[in-house]
Amino acid sequence: MQFIRTATAISASIFILVGCGKGDSGGGGTVPTPLPPTPIVMVAARIDNTTALTGFTNYNVKLSAVIRLSFNNAVDRATVSSIAVKENGSTTVASGYTYENGDSTVVVNPASVLKALTRYTIDAAATLKSIKGGALSPAFSISMVTQIDSTDKFPVISDNALLDLVQQQTFKYFWDYGHPVSGLARERSNATPETVTSGGSGFGIMAIPVGINRNFITRAQGLARMQTIVSFLKNTAQKFHGAFPHWLNGTTGVVIPFSTKDNGADLVETSYLMAGLLTARQYFDGVDAAETSLRSDINTIWNAVEWSWFRQGSQNALYWHWSPNYNWDMNVKIQGWNECLITYILAASSTTFGVPQVVYKEGFAGNGAMQNGNTYYGYQLPLGAANGGPLFFAHYSFLGVNPNGLSDIYANYQVQTTNHTKINYEYCKANPRGYFGYSNLCWGLTASDVPGGYNANEPNNDIGVISPTASLSSFPYTPAESMNALKFFYYKLGDKVWKQYGFVDAFSLKDLWYADSFLAIDQGPEIIMIENYRTGLLWNLFTSCPEVKAGMLGLGFTAPYL
């Protein structure tokens, strides 16, 4: 009996020990909180065979992209709709889903081909869960931009027909969109239509002989437009010591200030206008009363510009601005290397208010300070800043001045303009900043509109914006490279950048941005320089001016045409 009582006691003790465990609420213990399911985490993403990154834009994605998202756990298929492909971050693209690696990799297949040059995101929300119930953490979004559509947007035509088309369409900016009262060029297509530009009008005037010779307009039409322009400039437009302001009201001729103190004369803009007028004077060479009178009026305007006044006394330099309210307060010396060579050439060419060679040597050339001589991308650059600066430096002064065979003590200008352009081309081709879209076909950096503003685009100040005028106005220097760019812009991007006045001012494939603007100072050089490449028309007209020949010789230039 003693044995039975002992066994019973042991059994009772065991029962007591088990029954009074921590989990027994009746015994005063607490139930442990279950650990939450381990979160599911995205560990890798691939678009086709390329690693995709969050926080960056993944470019050049195929239109039939396959997206693979790998996680640290198998996903719950019932929650996979939490992964969505969205066009421009808003419109969901219908997609199918398949699974790999034991459901830890989700393969996303958009049901339809994606659109070219379009931004998409791959968004995954926290409602995505693993088979163990863990929620996605963190949620993520992958940005991607699809590739360029390589199909031709327009029927293929001959190279000559394409050049004709570009010149004719671009000419419409000056002809159809010219101011109805003054005939002058409006500053831009997306600004107050009363604002006309003196420099851009000079480019538009140079384009009129092209329009006549290419049969875009008749000679009578061109003459009538020139009569309107010249009458307005002579009799209505506000002038300061014979020089014109940057902007004018196209109806009243009153200054529209470019900035607070820039409300008077702008000598550089005036020089572009005078170059255009002298070119037109040489073109309209008829003996009839109308063309004779036009030439006389142009001479009146030309001879009234007081170039020497802009020496600000007797300094050996020209100054850019003079204001009737602020006098010389802006105090911007015109010095090179930049777009202002033409200003000194015309100042030296004036028979009424001319300047001597020393003003050019000390003021513009800085006694040689504008020289460079270094090599970039295999091309030696005689003048200017590293890599050459924006390409309009190679255009504006050379719309009328032929750089071929042109030299002075500072440079061979054929080498300068050609090598500057080739450096710009090679830079875009090399694409050291890795901008999407840059290539041997898509190149050209110069001042233009950019997203949210305006920028002097060039290799040292490159934000990913291509300006068609840069490569197209370079046809005389890089004909093969410029033609390749033209074909790319027209055939491959034409649905986005080819509009009623030719090519839009600029675009960025990196930002999927296309300007809605056209600028006189960018449209004009395209017409003019393509023509100079084809026939030399504007070079021949401008350099036939006897005053210009004398002025250039006086500055120390040599060229076959001088």
Query: Is the pLDDT at 17 greater than 50, yes or no?
Result: no
What pLDDT score was predicted for residue 27? 47
Condensed to tens digits (0 to 9), the pLDDT of residues 352-387 reads 999 999 999 999 999 999 999 999 999 999 999 999
pTM metric for this prediction: 0.92
Domain spanning 42-146: which CATH class is it, in words? mainly beta
Asked whether the beta carbons of 531 and 513 are under 8 A apart, the reply is: no
Q: Is the pLDDT of residue 101 over 90?
A: yes
Q: Is the pLDDT of residue 533 over 50?
A: yes
DSSP 460: T
How would you classify the pairing of strands 513-514 and 91-93?
Answer: unpaired
Percent over 90 (pLDDT), the chain: 92
Phi-psi map region of 313: left, alpha, beta (phi>0 left; psi -120 to 50 alpha) = left
Distance CA 349, CA 333 (A): 20
Q: What average pLDDT does range 90-96 have in this prediction? A: 95
* Residue 267: strand pairing partners: none
Q: What 8-state DSSP symbol labels residue 193?
A: T
3-state secondary structure of 277: helix
**pLDDT of amino acid 3:** 33
- Looking at the chain, the whole-number percentage of residues with pLDDT higher than 70 is 95
The first and second tokens of residue 112, run together, are 């339809």
Lookup: tokens for 395: 């255009």
Please give the pLDDT value at position 33.
75
The predicted pLDDT at position 13 comes to: 38
Q: What is the mean pLDDT of residues 421-438?
A: 98
pLDDT band at 29 (very low <50, low <70, confident <90, very high): low
Q: What are phi and psi of 106, to 5 degrees?
A: -105, 125
Question: pLDDT by residue (tens digit) across 43-77?
Answer: 999 999 899 988 899 999 999 999 999 999 999 99
Residue ranges covered by each domain of the chain: 42-146, 159-555
Look over the chain and give the mean of its residue pLDDT values, rounded to a whole number.
94
Same fold, 42-146 and 159-555: no
Instruction: Say how many C-beta atoms besides its own lie within 10 A of residue 161's C-beta.
Output: 10
Q: Which pLDDT score is estimated for 32?
A: 73
The predicted-structure confidence for 120-169, as pLDDT tens digits, reads as follows 999 999 999 999 999 999 999 999 999 999 999 999 999 999 999 999 99
Give residue-wise pLDDT tens across range 476-493. Answer: 999 999 999 999 999 999
C-alpha 548/C-alpha 555 separation (Å) is: 11
For the domain spanning 159-555, the CATH number is 1.50.10.140
Question: How much is the pLDDT for 335?
Answer: 98
Contact 413, 471 (CB under 8 A): no
Q: Please give the pLDDT value at position 28.
A: 52
